[in-house]
Amino acid sequence: MRVAAGWVVERTLASSAPVSNFLQGALERFDERDQGLLRELTLGTLRWLRRLDHILVKASNRKLEEIEPCLLSPLRVGAYQLLLLDRIPSYAAVDEAVEQARYLTHKGGASFVNAVMRRIARSPRFADWPVEEVDPVRRHGVEWSHPDFLVEAWSQQFGWERTLEIMAANNRPKPMHIAAFRDRGGREELAENLIDQGLEVEPSPLSPLGLIVRRGNPLTTDSFRRGDLYIQDEASQLAALIPPPEPGELILDAAASPGGKAFALIGWEPSVRLVAGDLDLHRLFTLRENLTRLRRTIPILTSDAGQPGLRAGFDRVVLDLPCSGTGTLRKHPELKWRLSPGELGRLARQALRVLRGSAPLVRPGGLLIAITCSIDPADNEAVIDEFLADRDEFDLLPLEGRLAQPMANSIEAPGRWRLLPGGDHDGFTVHVLRRQSIA
């Protein structure tokens, strides 16, 4: 299993693919109990990668680039076990790392790994390996295993206290969240059914549709097979309902796959008339599969949100904008090690194109909803400000008085709603733009 974890970490860091692309296949080789440990080893190592590398450098007296590349994954996974997992004996973690090294390289490499791991095993706490950086951005970046440019941007935007809270949340394991449907009994009936099937669930403190799974696997239940639930973060459910839809609204989900926003809208207000569009055929196939399992029927279009080719007249156009995903680092920790300021700029240009292309589809008086799973201004305020600068028929819709609690707690500015990562949830930003009515 530790070999599998090291392989997933190595392949993820060497590619531009999500960790799930490699982890899912690896999980299928193990039973349910071992799957949990494999997921913990993989995601935990990626979450704490920078701090682990800092410790490996100190324990080895070598620069990171001087360590044989094939040894990095067994060292990182082994260090994670020693420093952050109590249930694995230290001798087992050391022996396994050495065995992997012996398989991957020469005898000298195995001896090197043995020496490094034993040094860490003698001092198995982060406090034993202090970060001696004067600059607070670099110090906190290493301590909390985040890239400096994100730490600097967040500290300027949210202040140090909130930034440290965000980074701490990003490094915690995340429970599974599920969304219920009001026309199928809502979350109360779903919770009763899941409890009867042996699961332990509790109501989301944020989303009126949401449940948090504390024990058990909802994917193996009759409720899942019947289509009574959808796997979705509670913050994502909430973001789709800013503001809650009115009965009978005609809504275009312009970048719909795999369907989360659409399902949250239907879950809250079954009478909405939804049209779903997306350009990616593979993702559209996933959307169709989800609709089939959920026993829902929605018109699906192969459509580019930047050039949708549809007639105007929608009460609401919902856009899941291209973004950096910095609100979801808890479940996608590999993103931390791929993002750069230049990448944020590229994504912002894509988002602006999508906004401009879909805006004409909104009827006068209707809403254009821009959603990102990012908390960064470069993905959000900067894009919206540039859009509004040359589209004077749109303005930001004040949200005060339109949202119930606890939704209303996250109103940040007129037309802007932002929930930072924390508790059990991801982070999201929503901008609500209104097309002015024709006089």
- Tell me, yes or no, whether 421 and 273 share the same domain: yes
- Could you tell me if 210 and 111 lie in one domain? no
| Domain match, 297 and 365 both | yes
Residues 295 and 207 both lie in one domain: no
Tell me the one-letter amino acid at 17: A
* 223 & 288 share domain: no
Domain of 197: which CATH number?
Answer: 3.30.70.1170
Which of 128, 160, 189 is the C-terminal boundary of a domain?
128
Backbone angles phi, psi at 272, to 5 degrees: -65, 150
CA angle (146, 147, 153) in 5-degree steps: 100
Closest CA to 26 of 47, 49, 5, 41: 5
Residue 280 near residue 257, CB atoms below 8 Å: yes
Give the pLDDT confidence of 390-407 residue by residue, as tens digits.
Answer: 999 999 999 999 999 999
Same domain for 193 and 335, yes or no, is no
CATH at residue 102: 1.10.940.10
State how far the Cα of 326 lies from the Cα of 341, in Å rounded to an integer.
Answer: 12
Domain that holds residue 151: 136-170
Average pLDDT of the residues in 151-169: 97
What's the whole-model pTM score?
0.94
Residues 20 and 149 in one domain: no
- Please indicate, yes or no, whether residues 197 and 250 belong to a single structural domain of this protein: no
Whole-number percent of the chain with pLDDT over 90: 85
Distance (Å) of CA 37 to CA 102, 177, 188, 218, 250? 23, 20, 31, 19, 45
Digit-coded pLDDT (tens) for 210-223: 999 999 999 999 99
Domains in the chain, number: 4
- For residue 259, pLDDT over 90 is answered with yes
Same domain, yes or no, for 184 and 68? no
CATH number at residue 391: 3.40.50.150
- For residue 232, pLDDT over 70 is answered with yes
Q: Are residues 221 and 357 in the same domain?
A: no
pLDDT digits (tens, 9 = 90+) for 63-88: 999 999 999 999 999 999 999 998 88
Tell me the C-alpha to C-alpha distance, in Å, between residue 336 and each of 12, 33, 343, 379: 12, 28, 12, 15
Same domain? For 223 and 81 the reply is: no
User: Over the chain, what is the mean pLDDT?
Assistant: 94
The answer on 211 and 244 residing in a single domain is no
